[in-house]
C-alpha cells in the first residue's frame, strides 16, 4: 500500500501539529529480541503451575503483545525481571497474587496455567519461593502482575537488554496499513478536551478562592496580630454568617439534606431579587433551556451586572446622603458616584459573602465559562446590602 499523509513527517499543516494526534492512545511495546530469555537455547524441561482468573489471563495476553514474544517467553521474562529487580516485596501486588485474594479481577480463579521453563530457571524460582515464603503459583502470579504494573502504572522504559519502542516508531508501523481515513477517536478526544477544560476552570476557581482567603486573612490579622490561621478563619466565618443569616440558613438546610441545589437557587432568587416562587422557577427553567447564542448570553449577563451595579450605587448614595444627591448637577453627581463606587469597593473587599449560584447550566462553551467567571466575580459582591 502506498504511503499516506500520516506517514510523512513528525508534524504537518500550517500549525505544525504532531502526527501523534492521530495516535491518541499510548501503546506499550518492547523490543525483546535481545533479552536473555529470548536468546536462551536451554531446553524447557521443567514446569510450573498456577490457577488464574479470567482477568489475569487477559493480563498475560496483554504482556504477550507488550513484549512481542510467545506466552512462554513472556512469562519467563516476567520471572527473570522480578527476580533480578525486586529486593523488597511489593505488598500491593502481593495482595492481588495471593491465594484466595478478594481484590477485584483476582478472585474466582478457575483457569489452569502451565509454564514450561529450563531447569536452571526453575531452580532460581524455587529459591525465591523459599526466600519470600510463597507458593509457586503465588510467585508466578506475582511476577506477571508486578511487571504489568511496572510497565503500565510506573511507566517502565527498559528491561534487561530490551528497550521500549517509541510512540513515533509505533505510529509509523500503524500508518503503513492505515487507509488514510479520519481518526475514529474524535468524540473521545473532544470528551478529553472538555474534561481538561472543566478541570482548568475548577483549578482557576480554587485559585480565586485561595487568593480571596489570603486577602481576608491579611485584613483580619492586622486587627488580630497574635491569632493563627485557624482562629482567623473561624472569625471570618462567624462574621460572614452574621452579615448574611439568610445564606447561613440555606447552607444549613443543604448540609442537612432538607433541600437540594435547585431549591436553594430558587430561594436565593426569591430572596435577593424579590421574585415570587413562580417567577424564580420560570427564570431557572428559562436559564436551563435558553437557546441564546454565546454572545447574546454574555451580553445579557454583562448588562444585568451593570444595571445591578448602578442600582447598588444609587442605593448606597440614598443611604449616606438621604436623597439630597439627586438635586446636584450632572458633573457633581458623576464625581459623587465615582467616590461612592471607590468607597463601596473598599468596604466590600473587607467583607465579601460567597453566594454560590448552584444548578446553573453555564460552563459548556468558552463564552459561557467567561460568563460564569463574571458572575462568580461580580454577582455575589453586588448582592450585598449597605449598612
Closest by CA to 66, choosing from 81, 83, 85, 54, is 81
- Taking 60 as the threshold, does the pLDDT of residue 289 lie above it? no
Choice between 300 and 141, residue whose per-residue pLDDT is larger: 141
pLDDT band at residue 356 under the 50/70/90 scheme:
very low
The answer to whether residues 96 and 25 touch, using CB atoms and an 8 Å cutoff, is no
Q: Check: CB of residue 262 under 8 Å from CB of residue 250.
A: no
Residues with Cβ within 8 Å of 171's Cβ and at least 6 positions away in sequence, in order, are 6, 19, 20, 22, 23
C-alpha cell at 300: 445579557
Candidates 208, 207, 227; CA nearest to 217 is 227
Per-residue pLDDT band for 39 (boundaries 50, 70, 90) equals very high
Structure-block grid coordinates of residue 3: 504511503
If you average pLDDT over residues 364-370, what whole number do you get? 51
Q: What pLDDT does residue 146 have?
A: 96
Cell of 69: 514474544
In this predicted structure, the answer to whether residue 225 has a pLDDT above a threshold of 80 is no
Q: Contact, 139 vs 132, CB < 8 A? A: yes
- pLDDT single digits (tens) 301-328: 666 666 666 766 676 666 666 656 556 6
| The pLDDT of residue 326 | 59
Please report which confidence band the pLDDT of residue 381 belongs to, taking 50, 70 and 90 as the band edges.
very low
HEC per residue, 63-105? HHHHHCCCHHHHHHHHHHHHHHHCCCCCHHHHHHHCCCCCCCC
Domain boundaries, the chain: 25-176, 292-387
Residue 15: per-residue pLDDT: 46
Cβ atoms of 82 and 63 within 8 Å: the answer is no
The rounded distance, in Å, linking the Cα atoms of 222 and 217 is 9
SS3 310: helix
- Dist. CA 286–CA 93, nearest whole Å: 53
pLDDT the model gives residue 194 = 84
User: Given pLDDT bands bounded at 50, 70 and 90, which one contains residue 2?
Assistant: very low
> What's the pLDDT at 209?
74
Predicted local confidence at residue 230, as pLDDT: 79
Label residue 339 by pLDDT band (50, 70, 90): confident
Question: CA 350, CA 352: separation in Å to the nearest integer?
Answer: 6
Highest mean pLDDT among 1-15, 65-79, 94-108, 371-385: 65-79
Amino acid at each position: 500500500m502506498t504511503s499516506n499523509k500520516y506517514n510523512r513527517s513528525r508534524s504537518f499543516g500550517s500549525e505544525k501539529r504532531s502526527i501523534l494526534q492521530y495516535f491518541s492512545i499510548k501503546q506499550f511495546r518492547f523490543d525483546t529480541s535481545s533479552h536473555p530469555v529470548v536468546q536462551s537455547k536451554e531446553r524447557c524441561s521443567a514446569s510450573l503451575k498456577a490457577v488464574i482468573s479470567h482477568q489475569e489471563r487477559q493480563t498475560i495476553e496483554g504482556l504477550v503483545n507488550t513484549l512481542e514474544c510467545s506466552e512462554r517467553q513472556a512469562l519467563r521474562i516476567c520471572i527473570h525481571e522480578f527476580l533480578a529487580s525486586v529486593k523488597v516485596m511489593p505488598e500491593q501486588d502481593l495482595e492481588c497474587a495471593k491465594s484466595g485474594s478478594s481484590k477485584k479481577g483476582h478472585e474466582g480463579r478457575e483457569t489452569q496455567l502451565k509454564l514450561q521453563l529450563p531447569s536452571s530457571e526453575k531452580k532460581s524460582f524455587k529459591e525465591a519461593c523459599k526466600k519470600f515464603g510463597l507458593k509457586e503459583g503465588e510467585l508466578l502470579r506475582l511476577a506477571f502482575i508486578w511487571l504489568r504494573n511496572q510497565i503500565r502504572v510506573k511507566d517502565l522504559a527498559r528491561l534487561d537488554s530490551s528497550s521500549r519502542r517509541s510512540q513515533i516508531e509505533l505510529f509509523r508501523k500503524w500508518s503503513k496499513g492505515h487507509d488514510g481515513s479520519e481518526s475514529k477517536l474524535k468524540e473521545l478526544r473532544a470528551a478529553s478536551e472538555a474534561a481538561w477544560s472543566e478541570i482548568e476552570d475548577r483549578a482557576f476557581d480554587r485559585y480565586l478562592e485561595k487568593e480571596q482567603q489570603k486577602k481576608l486573612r491579611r485584613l483580619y490579622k492586622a486587627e488580630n496580630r497574635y491569632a493563627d490561621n485557624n482562629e482567623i478563619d473561624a472569625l471570618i466565618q462567624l462574621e460572614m454568617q452574621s452579615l448574611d443569616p439568610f445564606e447561613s440558613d440555606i447552607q444549613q438546610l443543604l448540609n442537612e439534606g432538607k433541600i437540594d441545589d435547585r431549591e436553594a437557587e430558587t430561594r436565593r432568587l426569591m430572596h435577593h431579587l424579590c421574585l415570587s416562587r413562580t417567577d424564580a422557577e420560570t427564570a431557572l427553567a428559562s436559564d436551563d433551556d435558553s437557546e441564546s447564542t454565546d454572545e447574546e448570553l454574555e451580553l445579557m449577563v454583562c448588562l444585568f451586572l451593570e444595571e445591578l451595579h448602578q442600582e447598588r450605587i444609587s442605593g448606597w448614595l440614598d443611604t449616606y446622603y438621604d436623597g439630597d444627591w439627586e438635586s446636584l448637577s450632572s458633573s457633581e453627581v458623576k464625581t459623587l458616584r465615582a467616590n461612592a463606587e471607590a468607597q463601596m469597593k473598599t468596604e466590600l473587599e473587607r467583607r465579601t459573602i460567597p453566594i454560590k449560584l448552584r444548578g446553573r447550566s453555564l460552563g459548556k462553551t468558552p463564552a459561557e465559562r467567561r460568563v460564569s467567571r463574571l458572575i462568580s466575580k461580580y454577582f455575589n459582591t453586588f448582592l450585598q446590602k449597605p449598612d
